[in-house]
Amino acid sequence: MDRVYVFDTTLRDGEQSPGVSLNVKEKIEIARQLARLGVDVIEVGFPVASPGDFNACREVARAVRGVTVCALARARQEDIDRAWEAIKEAEAPRIHTFIATSDIHLRHKLRMTREQVLEATRAAVAYSKRYAADVEFSAEDASRSDPDFLCQVLAEAIAAGATVLNIPDTVGYAVPEEFGELIRVIRERTPGIEKVILSCHCHNDLGLAVANTLAAVRNGVRQVEVTINGIGERAGNAALEEVVMALYAHRSGYGLVTGIRTEELYRTSKLVSTLTGMPVQPNKAIVGKNAFAHESGIHQDGVLKERSTYEIIDPAIIGVPRSRLVLGKHSGRHAFRVRLQELGYELTEEELNAAFQRFKELCDRKKEITDDDLLALVEEEIGQAPSIYELRYFHISSGTTVVPTATVALRIGDELREEAACGNGPVDAIYKAVDKLTGRHLRLDSYSIEAVTEGKDAIGSVTVRVTDEERNKTYLGRGISTDVLEASARAYVDALNKLAADLNGNRVRRLEGEV
Protein backbone atom coordinates (compact mmCIF):
# COMPACT_ATOMS: atom_id res chain seq x y z
CA MET A 1 0.00 0.00 0.00
CA ASP A 2 1.06 3.61 -0.68
CA ARG A 3 1.93 5.85 2.30
CA VAL A 4 0.30 9.11 3.36
CA TYR A 5 2.49 11.22 5.65
CA VAL A 6 0.82 12.99 8.56
CA PHE A 7 2.00 16.55 9.25
CA ASP A 8 0.61 17.78 12.56
CA THR A 9 0.30 21.52 13.09
CA THR A 10 -1.51 21.49 16.45
CA LEU A 11 1.38 23.37 18.09
CA ARG A 12 1.47 26.06 15.38
CA ASP A 13 -1.88 26.53 13.63
CA GLY A 14 -3.77 24.88 16.49
CA GLU A 15 -2.29 27.28 19.02
CA GLN A 16 -3.54 30.16 16.87
CA SER A 17 -7.08 29.28 18.02
CA PRO A 18 -8.50 32.33 19.83
CA GLY A 19 -7.71 32.15 23.55
CA VAL A 20 -5.21 29.28 23.33
CA SER A 21 -1.73 29.85 24.73
CA LEU A 22 0.47 26.88 25.62
CA ASN A 23 3.57 27.13 27.79
CA VAL A 24 6.81 25.31 27.00
CA LYS A 25 6.06 22.36 29.30
CA GLU A 26 2.62 21.86 27.73
CA LYS A 27 4.04 22.05 24.19
CA ILE A 28 6.67 19.44 25.01
CA GLU A 29 4.06 17.12 26.53
CA ILE A 30 1.82 17.41 23.45
CA ALA A 31 4.81 16.92 21.12
CA ARG A 32 5.87 13.76 22.93
CA GLN A 33 2.34 12.41 22.69
CA LEU A 34 2.23 13.26 18.96
CA ALA A 35 5.46 11.27 18.54
CA ARG A 36 3.83 8.33 20.39
CA LEU A 37 0.83 8.71 18.11
CA GLY A 38 3.13 8.22 15.13
CA VAL A 39 2.86 11.50 13.22
CA ASP A 40 5.61 12.02 10.66
CA VAL A 41 6.09 15.77 11.08
CA ILE A 42 5.41 18.13 13.99
CA GLU A 43 5.17 21.83 13.12
CA VAL A 44 6.26 23.38 16.40
CA GLY A 45 5.57 27.06 15.77
CA PHE A 46 6.51 30.34 14.11
CA PRO A 47 9.84 31.25 15.80
CA VAL A 48 10.09 34.83 14.55
CA ALA A 49 6.70 35.70 16.10
CA SER A 50 8.06 36.26 19.63
CA PRO A 51 10.93 35.30 21.95
CA GLY A 52 8.52 32.97 23.79
CA ASP A 53 7.55 31.15 20.60
CA PHE A 54 11.21 30.85 19.60
CA ASN A 55 12.12 29.36 22.98
CA ALA A 56 9.21 26.90 22.89
CA CYS A 57 10.19 25.74 19.37
CA ARG A 58 13.80 25.26 20.45
CA GLU A 59 12.89 23.28 23.59
CA VAL A 60 10.49 20.99 21.69
CA ALA A 61 13.14 20.39 19.01
CA ARG A 62 15.58 19.35 21.74
CA ALA A 63 13.08 17.14 23.60
CA VAL A 64 11.42 15.10 20.84
CA ARG A 65 13.04 12.33 18.82
CA GLY A 66 11.90 9.95 16.10
CA VAL A 67 9.93 12.59 14.17
CA THR A 68 10.61 15.49 11.79
CA VAL A 69 10.42 18.87 13.55
CA CYS A 70 9.31 21.76 11.38
CA ALA A 71 9.25 25.54 11.92
CA LEU A 72 7.33 28.10 9.86
CA ALA A 73 8.94 31.12 8.18
CA ARG A 74 7.77 33.76 5.78
CA ALA A 75 9.76 34.12 2.56
CA ARG A 76 12.24 36.42 4.33
CA GLN A 77 15.82 35.78 5.34
CA GLU A 78 15.33 36.97 8.93
CA ASP A 79 12.39 34.56 9.38
CA ILE A 80 14.36 31.66 7.91
CA ASP A 81 17.40 32.43 10.10
CA ARG A 82 15.22 32.46 13.20
CA ALA A 83 13.43 29.23 12.20
CA TRP A 84 16.73 27.41 11.72
CA GLU A 85 18.13 28.64 15.04
CA ALA A 86 15.03 27.27 16.77
CA ILE A 87 15.05 23.76 15.26
CA LYS A 88 18.67 23.07 14.30
CA GLU A 89 19.06 20.64 17.25
CA ALA A 90 16.15 18.49 16.06
CA GLU A 91 16.90 14.95 14.93
CA ALA A 92 15.28 15.72 11.55
CA PRO A 93 14.72 19.48 11.02
CA ARG A 94 12.52 20.97 8.30
CA ILE A 95 12.10 24.63 7.33
CA HIS A 96 8.61 25.52 6.10
CA THR A 97 8.60 28.77 4.12
CA PHE A 98 5.59 30.36 2.46
CA ILE A 99 4.29 33.26 0.40
CA ALA A 100 0.81 34.05 -0.92
CA THR A 101 -0.04 33.41 -4.57
CA SER A 102 -3.63 34.66 -4.99
CA ASP A 103 -4.19 38.00 -6.70
CA ILE A 104 -6.26 39.24 -3.75
CA HIS A 105 -3.30 38.65 -1.39
CA LEU A 106 -0.76 40.06 -3.84
CA ARG A 107 -2.81 43.22 -4.34
CA HIS A 108 -4.04 43.95 -0.82
CA LYS A 109 -1.59 42.25 1.60
CA LEU A 110 1.80 41.80 -0.06
CA ARG A 111 1.49 44.64 -2.61
CA MET A 112 3.79 42.68 -4.89
CA THR A 113 3.71 41.77 -8.57
CA ARG A 114 3.65 38.18 -9.77
CA GLU A 115 7.26 38.52 -10.89
CA GLN A 116 8.27 39.64 -7.40
CA VAL A 117 6.50 36.63 -5.86
CA LEU A 118 8.32 34.28 -8.25
CA GLU A 119 11.66 35.82 -7.27
CA ALA A 120 10.81 35.72 -3.54
CA THR A 121 9.91 32.03 -3.86
CA ARG A 122 13.21 31.19 -5.56
CA ALA A 123 15.22 33.15 -3.01
CA ALA A 124 13.42 31.82 0.09
CA VAL A 125 13.68 28.16 -0.88
CA ALA A 126 17.32 28.49 -1.98
CA TYR A 127 18.21 30.32 1.26
CA SER A 128 16.43 27.66 3.34
CA LYS A 129 18.41 24.93 1.55
CA ARG A 130 21.63 26.49 2.88
CA TYR A 131 20.46 25.32 6.31
CA ALA A 132 18.24 22.27 5.85
CA ALA A 133 18.07 19.47 3.32
CA ASP A 134 14.32 19.19 3.97
CA VAL A 135 12.45 22.33 2.86
CA GLU A 136 8.71 22.69 2.47
CA PHE A 137 7.18 25.48 0.41
CA SER A 138 3.57 26.64 0.79
CA ALA A 139 1.60 28.75 -1.67
CA GLU A 140 -0.68 30.61 0.72
CA ASP A 141 -4.30 30.95 -0.48
CA ALA A 142 -3.55 28.47 -3.27
CA SER A 143 -7.23 27.52 -3.69
CA ARG A 144 -8.06 31.10 -4.79
CA SER A 145 -4.98 31.48 -7.00
CA ASP A 146 -4.80 31.46 -10.79
CA PRO A 147 -3.84 27.81 -11.54
CA ASP A 148 -1.33 28.72 -14.27
CA PHE A 149 0.50 31.20 -12.01
CA LEU A 150 0.32 28.77 -9.09
CA CYS A 151 2.03 26.08 -11.19
CA GLN A 152 4.73 28.61 -12.17
CA VAL A 153 5.43 29.39 -8.51
CA LEU A 154 5.54 25.70 -7.57
CA ALA A 155 7.94 24.96 -10.44
CA GLU A 156 10.29 27.70 -9.16
CA ALA A 157 10.17 26.18 -5.66
CA ILE A 158 11.04 22.74 -7.06
CA ALA A 159 13.92 24.15 -9.11
CA ALA A 160 15.28 25.92 -6.00
CA GLY A 161 15.32 22.64 -4.04
CA ALA A 162 11.98 22.26 -2.21
CA THR A 163 11.28 18.70 -1.08
CA VAL A 164 7.60 19.21 -0.17
CA LEU A 165 5.02 21.46 -1.87
CA ASN A 166 1.97 22.42 0.16
CA ILE A 167 -1.34 23.49 -1.40
CA PRO A 168 -3.36 25.30 1.29
CA ASP A 169 -7.04 26.12 1.27
CA THR A 170 -6.13 28.98 3.59
CA VAL A 171 -9.59 30.50 4.03
CA GLY A 172 -11.62 27.28 3.76
CA TYR A 173 -13.28 28.40 0.52
CA ALA A 174 -12.84 25.27 -1.59
CA VAL A 175 -15.34 22.47 -2.15
CA PRO A 176 -14.11 18.88 -2.65
CA GLU A 177 -14.64 18.49 -6.40
CA GLU A 178 -12.90 21.82 -7.15
CA PHE A 179 -10.03 21.21 -4.74
CA GLY A 180 -9.45 17.70 -6.08
CA GLU A 181 -9.41 19.11 -9.61
CA LEU A 182 -6.86 21.77 -8.58
CA ILE A 183 -4.52 19.04 -7.30
CA ARG A 184 -4.95 17.12 -10.57
CA VAL A 185 -4.11 20.26 -12.60
CA ILE A 186 -1.02 20.94 -10.47
CA ARG A 187 0.25 17.39 -11.02
CA GLU A 188 -0.27 17.68 -14.77
CA ARG A 189 1.14 21.17 -15.35
CA THR A 190 4.02 21.57 -12.88
CA PRO A 191 7.46 20.58 -14.21
CA GLY A 192 9.39 18.39 -11.74
CA ILE A 193 6.33 17.61 -9.59
CA GLU A 194 7.36 13.95 -9.50
CA LYS A 195 10.46 14.93 -7.47
CA VAL A 196 8.54 16.22 -4.46
CA ILE A 197 5.88 15.17 -1.97
CA LEU A 198 2.61 17.02 -2.59
CA SER A 199 0.82 18.22 0.54
CA CYS A 200 -2.45 19.96 1.45
CA HIS A 201 -3.55 22.15 4.36
CA CYS A 202 -7.31 22.68 4.55
CA HIS A 203 -9.29 25.02 6.80
CA ASN A 204 -12.83 24.33 7.95
CA ASP A 205 -14.66 27.62 7.35
CA LEU A 206 -17.37 25.83 5.35
CA GLY A 207 -17.11 22.58 7.32
CA LEU A 208 -15.35 20.87 4.40
CA ALA A 209 -11.73 20.61 5.58
CA VAL A 210 -11.73 16.81 5.96
CA ALA A 211 -13.69 16.29 2.73
CA ASN A 212 -11.29 18.57 0.81
CA THR A 213 -8.29 16.77 2.31
CA LEU A 214 -9.64 13.39 1.21
CA ALA A 215 -10.37 14.75 -2.28
CA ALA A 216 -6.76 15.96 -2.46
CA VAL A 217 -5.47 12.56 -1.37
CA ARG A 218 -7.63 10.89 -4.00
CA ASN A 219 -5.89 13.08 -6.61
CA GLY A 220 -2.29 12.47 -5.54
CA VAL A 221 -1.53 14.37 -2.32
CA ARG A 222 0.66 12.26 -0.05
CA GLN A 223 1.07 14.54 2.97
CA VAL A 224 -1.91 15.82 4.95
CA GLU A 225 -1.57 18.83 7.27
CA VAL A 226 -3.95 18.41 10.19
CA THR A 227 -4.54 19.20 13.87
CA ILE A 228 -5.81 17.20 16.82
CA ASN A 229 -9.55 17.81 17.32
CA GLY A 230 -9.47 20.07 14.24
CA ILE A 231 -8.44 23.14 16.27
CA GLY A 232 -6.92 26.15 14.56
CA GLU A 233 -7.54 29.61 13.11
CA ARG A 234 -11.21 30.66 12.88
CA ALA A 235 -13.26 27.44 12.33
CA GLY A 236 -10.14 25.29 12.58
CA ASN A 237 -8.31 22.78 10.39
CA ALA A 238 -8.88 19.29 9.08
CA ALA A 239 -9.03 17.00 12.12
CA LEU A 240 -6.20 14.46 12.23
CA GLU A 241 -8.36 11.74 13.79
CA GLU A 242 -11.09 12.13 11.14
CA VAL A 243 -8.74 12.07 8.15
CA VAL A 244 -6.77 9.10 9.51
CA MET A 245 -9.83 7.03 10.39
CA ALA A 246 -11.53 7.82 7.07
CA LEU A 247 -8.46 6.46 5.27
CA TYR A 248 -8.46 3.46 7.62
CA ALA A 249 -12.17 2.71 7.19
CA HIS A 250 -11.84 2.98 3.38
CA ARG A 251 -8.36 1.47 3.07
CA SER A 252 -9.49 -1.05 0.45
CA GLY A 253 -10.76 1.82 -1.73
CA TYR A 254 -7.89 4.27 -1.23
CA GLY A 255 -5.13 1.67 -1.02
CA LEU A 256 -3.30 3.95 1.41
CA VAL A 257 -1.87 3.68 4.91
CA THR A 258 -0.50 6.08 7.50
CA GLY A 259 2.01 5.51 10.29
CA ILE A 260 -0.52 6.52 12.96
CA ARG A 261 -0.96 4.26 16.00
CA THR A 262 -4.72 4.65 16.16
CA GLU A 263 -4.99 3.34 19.74
CA GLU A 264 -3.34 6.62 20.83
CA LEU A 265 -5.97 8.84 19.17
CA TYR A 266 -8.40 9.11 22.07
CA ARG A 267 -5.73 9.94 24.62
CA THR A 268 -4.11 12.50 22.33
CA SER A 269 -7.48 14.17 21.84
CA LYS A 270 -8.07 14.31 25.60
CA LEU A 271 -4.60 15.71 26.29
CA VAL A 272 -4.92 18.49 23.69
CA SER A 273 -8.44 19.35 24.86
CA THR A 274 -7.26 19.61 28.48
CA LEU A 275 -4.12 21.64 27.85
CA THR A 276 -5.72 24.06 25.37
CA GLY A 277 -8.94 24.46 27.36
CA MET A 278 -10.99 23.68 24.24
CA PRO A 279 -13.62 21.01 25.09
CA VAL A 280 -14.45 18.40 22.46
CA GLN A 281 -18.11 18.68 21.45
CA PRO A 282 -20.10 15.56 22.39
CA ASN A 283 -21.09 14.78 18.78
CA LYS A 284 -17.54 15.26 17.41
CA ALA A 285 -16.64 12.49 14.98
CA ILE A 286 -14.28 9.75 16.23
CA VAL A 287 -13.37 11.24 19.65
CA GLY A 288 -16.60 12.89 20.85
CA LYS A 289 -18.34 11.51 23.95
CA ASN A 290 -21.32 10.42 21.82
CA ALA A 291 -19.30 9.00 18.91
CA PHE A 292 -20.00 5.43 20.08
CA ALA A 293 -23.16 6.07 22.14
CA HIS A 294 -26.49 4.53 21.06
CA GLU A 295 -29.81 5.93 22.28
CA SER A 296 -32.25 4.38 19.81
CA GLY A 297 -33.66 1.00 20.83
CA ILE A 298 -33.25 -0.25 17.28
CA HIS A 299 -29.58 0.76 17.28
CA GLN A 300 -28.99 -0.74 20.73
CA ASP A 301 -30.54 -4.03 19.66
CA GLY A 302 -28.42 -4.13 16.52
CA VAL A 303 -25.15 -3.36 18.33
CA LEU A 304 -25.85 -5.99 20.99
CA LYS A 305 -26.38 -8.59 18.27
CA GLU A 306 -23.49 -7.48 16.02
CA ARG A 307 -21.40 -4.36 16.65
CA SER A 308 -20.82 -3.64 12.95
CA THR A 309 -24.55 -3.07 12.34
CA TYR A 310 -24.25 0.47 13.67
CA GLU A 311 -20.53 0.99 14.40
CA ILE A 312 -18.15 1.29 11.47
CA ILE A 313 -15.16 1.55 13.84
CA ASP A 314 -14.45 -0.50 16.94
CA PRO A 315 -13.91 1.99 19.82
CA ALA A 316 -10.91 -0.09 20.95
CA ILE A 317 -9.09 0.81 17.71
CA ILE A 318 -8.88 4.47 18.72
CA GLY A 319 -7.97 3.67 22.33
CA VAL A 320 -11.20 4.44 24.17
CA PRO A 321 -10.08 3.44 27.68
CA ARG A 322 -11.47 0.39 29.41
CA SER A 323 -10.35 -0.18 33.00
CA ARG A 324 -8.33 -3.33 33.59
CA LEU A 325 -6.81 -2.55 37.00
CA VAL A 326 -9.13 -1.19 39.69
CA LEU A 327 -7.38 1.41 41.82
CA GLY A 328 -8.53 2.62 45.22
CA LYS A 329 -7.32 3.93 48.56
CA HIS A 330 -5.43 0.69 49.30
CA SER A 331 -3.48 0.81 46.03
CA GLY A 332 0.23 1.54 46.29
CA ARG A 333 2.63 3.68 44.33
CA HIS A 334 3.78 0.74 42.18
CA ALA A 335 0.24 -0.10 40.97
CA PHE A 336 -0.35 3.60 40.36
CA ARG A 337 2.84 3.95 38.30
CA VAL A 338 2.11 0.77 36.30
CA ARG A 339 -1.41 1.94 35.42
CA LEU A 340 -0.09 5.29 34.27
CA GLN A 341 2.49 3.51 32.11
CA GLU A 342 -0.29 1.38 30.60
CA LEU A 343 -2.10 4.62 29.77
CA GLY A 344 1.10 5.91 28.13
CA TYR A 345 2.41 8.29 30.81
CA GLU A 346 6.06 8.37 31.86
CA LEU A 347 6.28 10.85 34.73
CA THR A 348 9.36 12.18 36.46
CA GLU A 349 9.75 11.22 40.12
CA GLU A 350 8.62 14.70 41.17
CA GLU A 351 5.55 14.56 38.92
CA LEU A 352 4.74 11.04 40.11
CA ASN A 353 4.92 12.09 43.76
CA ALA A 354 2.60 15.05 43.17
CA ALA A 355 0.14 12.96 41.14
CA PHE A 356 0.18 10.13 43.71
CA GLN A 357 -0.59 12.57 46.51
CA ARG A 358 -3.58 13.92 44.56
CA PHE A 359 -4.63 10.33 43.80
CA LYS A 360 -4.69 9.46 47.51
CA GLU A 361 -6.73 12.58 48.26
CA LEU A 362 -9.16 11.54 45.54
CA CYS A 363 -9.40 8.01 46.95
CA ASP A 364 -10.75 9.44 50.22
CA ARG A 365 -13.67 10.85 48.27
CA LYS A 366 -14.30 8.10 45.70
CA LYS A 367 -14.56 4.36 46.19
CA GLU A 368 -13.18 3.45 42.76
CA ILE A 369 -10.86 5.45 40.53
CA THR A 370 -11.47 5.02 36.79
CA ASP A 371 -9.10 5.56 33.88
CA ASP A 372 -10.90 8.81 33.09
CA ASP A 373 -10.24 9.97 36.67
CA LEU A 374 -6.52 9.16 36.26
CA LEU A 375 -6.32 10.88 32.88
CA ALA A 376 -7.88 14.04 34.33
CA LEU A 377 -5.65 13.97 37.41
CA VAL A 378 -2.38 13.45 35.54
CA GLU A 379 -3.19 15.91 32.76
CA GLU A 380 -3.91 18.54 35.42
CA GLU A 381 -0.49 17.88 36.97
CA ILE A 382 1.22 18.08 33.57
CA GLY A 383 -0.28 21.50 32.84
CA GLN A 384 0.43 23.00 36.26
CA ALA A 385 2.76 25.98 36.46
CA PRO A 386 5.35 26.10 39.28
CA SER A 387 3.47 26.53 42.58
CA ILE A 388 4.20 30.09 43.62
CA TYR A 389 0.72 30.08 45.14
CA GLU A 390 -0.66 26.89 46.70
CA LEU A 391 -4.27 26.44 47.82
CA ARG A 392 -4.27 25.09 51.37
CA TYR A 393 -7.93 25.35 52.39
CA PHE A 394 -11.10 27.38 52.01
CA HIS A 395 -14.42 27.74 53.84
CA ILE A 396 -17.71 28.89 52.31
CA SER A 397 -20.78 30.44 53.84
CA SER A 398 -23.57 30.59 51.28
CA GLY A 399 -27.28 30.14 50.81
CA THR A 400 -30.45 31.78 49.54
CA THR A 401 -30.74 34.22 52.46
CA VAL A 402 -27.08 35.03 53.20
CA VAL A 403 -24.35 36.91 51.36
CA PRO A 404 -21.87 34.34 49.97
CA THR A 405 -18.60 34.63 51.87
CA ALA A 406 -15.34 32.76 51.33
CA THR A 407 -12.31 32.40 53.60
CA VAL A 408 -9.28 31.23 51.62
CA ALA A 409 -5.76 30.28 52.73
CA LEU A 410 -2.83 30.22 50.30
CA ARG A 411 0.76 29.26 50.85
CA ILE A 412 2.85 32.04 49.30
CA GLY A 413 6.51 31.19 49.57
CA ASP A 414 7.09 29.99 53.13
CA GLU A 415 4.15 31.97 54.49
CA LEU A 416 0.54 30.87 55.03
CA ARG A 417 -1.89 33.72 54.47
CA GLU A 418 -5.65 33.90 54.93
CA GLU A 419 -8.26 36.35 53.64
CA ALA A 420 -12.05 36.56 53.47
CA ALA A 421 -14.28 38.19 50.86
CA CYS A 422 -17.93 38.41 49.82
CA GLY A 423 -19.18 37.85 46.29
CA ASN A 424 -22.19 37.36 44.05
CA GLY A 425 -21.85 33.62 44.60
CA PRO A 426 -19.43 31.18 46.26
CA VAL A 427 -17.05 31.05 43.27
CA ASP A 428 -16.97 34.84 42.96
CA ALA A 429 -16.29 35.10 46.71
CA ILE A 430 -13.39 32.62 46.45
CA TYR A 431 -11.85 34.51 43.55
CA LYS A 432 -12.12 37.86 45.34
CA ALA A 433 -10.45 36.39 48.44
CA VAL A 434 -7.63 35.02 46.24
CA ASP A 435 -7.25 38.46 44.62
CA LYS A 436 -6.82 39.99 48.07
CA LEU A 437 -4.16 37.45 48.98
CA THR A 438 -2.15 37.83 45.76
CA GLY A 439 -2.66 41.54 45.14
CA ARG A 440 -3.73 40.79 41.57
CA HIS A 441 -7.07 41.58 39.97
CA LEU A 442 -7.68 39.55 36.82
CA ARG A 443 -10.63 39.78 34.47
CA LEU A 444 -12.51 36.48 34.26
CA ASP A 445 -13.24 35.97 30.55
CA SER A 446 -14.68 32.47 30.70
CA TYR A 447 -15.54 29.77 33.21
CA SER A 448 -16.58 26.25 32.26
CA ILE A 449 -17.19 23.06 34.20
CA GLU A 450 -17.74 19.51 33.04
CA ALA A 451 -18.04 16.13 34.68
CA VAL A 452 -15.06 13.94 33.85
CA THR A 453 -16.77 10.73 34.97
CA GLU A 454 -20.29 9.63 35.87
CA GLY A 455 -22.10 9.29 39.17
CA LYS A 456 -22.63 11.42 42.27
CA ASP A 457 -18.92 11.31 43.11
CA ALA A 458 -17.82 12.30 39.61
CA ILE A 459 -14.75 14.49 39.21
CA GLY A 460 -15.57 18.00 38.10
CA SER A 461 -13.08 19.70 35.79
CA VAL A 462 -13.11 23.51 35.79
CA THR A 463 -11.38 25.63 33.16
CA VAL A 464 -11.02 29.39 33.52
CA ARG A 465 -9.63 31.93 31.09
CA VAL A 466 -8.45 35.16 32.71
CA THR A 467 -6.80 38.32 31.41
CA ASP A 468 -4.16 40.45 33.09
CA GLU A 469 -5.48 43.79 31.80
CA GLU A 470 -2.29 45.63 32.73
CA ARG A 471 -0.29 43.47 30.30
CA ASN A 472 -3.25 42.51 28.06
CA LYS A 473 -2.29 38.84 28.27
CA THR A 474 -4.59 35.85 28.74
CA TYR A 475 -3.95 32.80 30.90
CA LEU A 476 -5.71 29.45 31.13
CA GLY A 477 -6.22 27.71 34.47
CA ARG A 478 -7.47 24.19 35.17
CA GLY A 479 -8.54 22.42 38.32
CA ILE A 480 -10.17 19.10 39.15
CA SER A 481 -11.93 17.79 42.25
CA THR A 482 -15.04 15.95 43.30
CA ASP A 483 -15.97 19.32 44.89
CA VAL A 484 -16.71 21.84 42.14
CA LEU A 485 -15.84 24.79 44.42
CA GLU A 486 -12.43 23.29 45.11
CA ALA A 487 -11.96 22.66 41.38
CA SER A 488 -12.92 26.29 40.75
CA ALA A 489 -10.41 27.55 43.30
CA ARG A 490 -7.65 25.30 41.92
CA ALA A 491 -8.30 26.53 38.37
CA TYR A 492 -8.03 30.20 39.37
CA VAL A 493 -4.87 29.61 41.41
CA ASP A 494 -3.36 27.68 38.46
CA ALA A 495 -3.97 30.68 36.17
CA LEU A 496 -2.34 32.98 38.75
CA ASN A 497 0.69 30.65 38.96
CA LYS A 498 1.08 30.85 35.17
CA LEU A 499 0.92 34.63 35.33
CA ALA A 500 3.53 34.70 38.11
CA ALA A 501 5.79 32.24 36.25
CA ASP A 502 5.48 34.36 33.11
CA LEU A 503 6.44 37.52 34.99
CA ASN A 504 9.43 35.75 36.55
CA GLY A 505 10.46 34.41 33.14
CA ASN A 506 10.33 37.89 31.63
CA ARG A 507 12.55 39.19 34.42
CA VAL A 508 15.10 36.44 33.72
CA ARG A 509 15.06 37.14 29.98
CA ARG A 510 15.58 40.85 30.61
CA LEU A 511 18.58 40.06 32.81
CA GLU A 512 19.98 37.82 30.06
CA GLY A 513 19.43 40.51 27.45
CA GLU A 514 16.93 38.50 25.40
CA VAL A 515 14.08 40.98 25.82
pTM of the entire predicted model: 0.83
Q: Digits of tens for pLDDT over the chain (515 positions)? A: 699 999 999 999 999 998 888 989 999 999 999 999 999 999 999 999 999 899 999 999 999 999 999 999 999 999 999 999 999 999 999 999 999 999 999 999 999 999 999 999 999 999 999 999 999 999 999 999 999 999 999 999 999 999 999 999 999 999 999 999 999 999 999 999 999 999 999 999 999 999 999 999 999 999 999 999 999 999 999 999 999 999 999 999 999 999 999 999 999 999 999 899 899 998 999 999 888 876 666 766 776 688 788 788 888 899 886 544 457 777 788 888 887 887 777 788 888 888 888 888 888 877 667 777 887 777 777 666 667 899 999 999 999 899 999 999 999 988 999 999 999 999 999 999 999 999 998 999 999 998 877 777 788 889 999 999 888 888 999 898 889 999 999 999 999 999 988 887 654 444 344 43
Nearest alpha carbon to residue 390 among 411, 369, 376, 362: 411
Contact 343, 321 (CB under 8 A): yes
CA distance 109 to 112: 8
Tell me what pLDDT residue 437 has: 95
Residues 6 or more apart in contact with residue 51 via CB below 8 angstroms: 509, 514, 515
CA angle 181, 184, 188 (to 5 degrees): 140
Beta-bridged to residue 415, according to DSSP, are 412
Pairing of strands 402-412, 389-399: antiparallel
Instruction: Enumerate residues 6+ apart whose C-beta is below 8 A from 33.
Output: 264, 267, 268, 271, 344
What pLDDT does residue 514 have?
40
What is the structure's pLDDT at 515?
Answer: 33
Contact 31, 62 (CB under 8 A): no
Angle between helices 333-342 and 371-383 (to 10 degrees): 90
Phi, psi of 487 (to 5 degrees): -60, -40
**What does the pLDDT read at residue 375?**
76
Q: Are 428 and 450 in contact (CB under 8 A)?
A: no
DSSP state of 216: H
Residue 310: left (phi > 0), alpha (psi -120 to 50), or beta? alpha
Q: What angle do CA 425, 428, 430 make, to 5 degrees?
A: 110
pLDDT for residue 130:
97
168, 232 Cβ separation under 8 angstroms: no
DSSP string, 163-202: SEEEEEETTS---HHHHHHHHHHHHHHSTTGGGSEEEEEE
The pLDDT value given to residue 269:
95
Give per-residue burial for 476-499: e unless 16+ CB within 10 Å, then b. bbbbbbbebbbbbbbbbbbbbbbb
For residue 428, the surrounding DSSP H or E stretch is helix 426-438
Q: What is the pairing mode between strands 460-468 and 473-481?
A: antiparallel
Q: Is 453 helix (H, G, I), strand (E, B) or coil?
A: coil
The neighbour count for residue 281, using CB atoms within 10 Å, is: 12
Domains and CATH numbers, the chain: 2-276 (3.20.20.70), 333-383 (no CATH), 389-512 (3.30.160.270)
Distance (Å, rounded) from C-alpha 395 to C-alpha 372? Answer: 28
Residue 136: name the closest of 89, 86, 92, 91 by CA: 92
Confidence (pLDDT) at 385: 65
Quote the CA–CA distance of 338 and 46 in Å, as a whole number: 37
List Cβ neighbours of 437 (8 Å cut-off, separation of 6 or more): 389, 408, 410, 412, 417, 418, 419
DSSP string, 330-353: T--HHHHHHHHHHTT----HHHHH
Helix (H, G, I), strand (E, B) or coil at 123: helix
pLDDT of residue 370: 75
- Edge to edge, the sheet with strand 415-422 lists 389-399, 402-412, 415-422
Question: Which helix or strand (DSSP H or E) is residue 95 part of?
Answer: strand 92-100
DSSP label at 318?
Answer: G
* DSSP state letter for 107: I
pLDDT given for residue 393 in this prediction: 95
d(CA 5, CA 68): 11
How far is the first Cα of the chain from the last one, in angstroms, to the nearest whole number? 50
Instruction: Name residues whose C-beta falls within 8 Å of residue 283's C-beta, 6 or more positions apart in sequence.
Output: 290, 291
**CA separation for the pair 353, 326 (Å, rounded):** 20
